[in-house]
Amino acid sequence: MTRNELLDLYFMDARSKLIDIAAFLDRIDRGKGEADFRLAAFRKALDELSAGEPIRARGVLLSLSDPTTEPIEKSPGKGAVGAWPGKES
């Protein structure tokens, strides 16, 4: 497909999601108290959008992933939160 055909198909959806992200960050700024590791991870992942190659989705996913390679001793729970808290957590 041409770039303009893809814009026709996805621009409004992407525009909506972009504004949602901006509003989300504004909302967090207006909130009270300290933000946990997820906000820093989110901001770091946003940097991946500036990549000059079409590997941005992969970059965002890698940025939010646990980069370690060894199994952990015990499960901290069943769920995942969407960002890696780091070894110290």
Partner 1 sequence: MRYIEPHGHMVSRVTDDYQAMVIAGCQAVCEPAFWAGFDRSGVQGFHDYFCQLTDYEPKRAAKFGLPHFSWLCINPKESEDMKLAEEVLSIIPEFLSRPNVLGIGEIGLNKNTRNEVKILERHVDLAARHGQLILVHTPHLEDKLKGTRLILDVIKGDRRIDPGRVIIDHVEEHTVEMVLDTGMWAGMTLYPESKCTPARAIDILENFGAERIWMNSACDWGVSVPLAVPKTAVEMKKRGWIEEHTDAVIYGNPYRFMAQNPRFRL
- Please report, as ranges, the residues that interact with partner 1 according to CB under 8 A: 1, 9-10, 55, 57-58, 61-62, 64-69, 71-84
Backbone dihedral region of 33: left (phi > 0), alpha (psi from -120 to 50 degrees) or beta?
left
DSSP for 5-70, please give it.
HHHHHHHHHHHHHHHHHHHHHHHHHHS-S---HHHHHHHHHHGGGG-SSS-HHHHHHHHTS----S
Nearest distance, CB of residue 29 and partner 1, angstroms: 24
Nearest distance, CB of residue 32 and partner 1, angstroms: 26
Give the Cα separation of 12 and 40 in Å (integer).
28
Nearer residue to partner 1 within complex by CB, 39 or 84: 84
Nearer residue to partner 1 within complex by CB, 1 or 32: 1
Nearer residue to partner 1 within complex by CB, 25 or 38: 38
Nearest distance, CB of residue 57 and partner 1, angstroms: 4
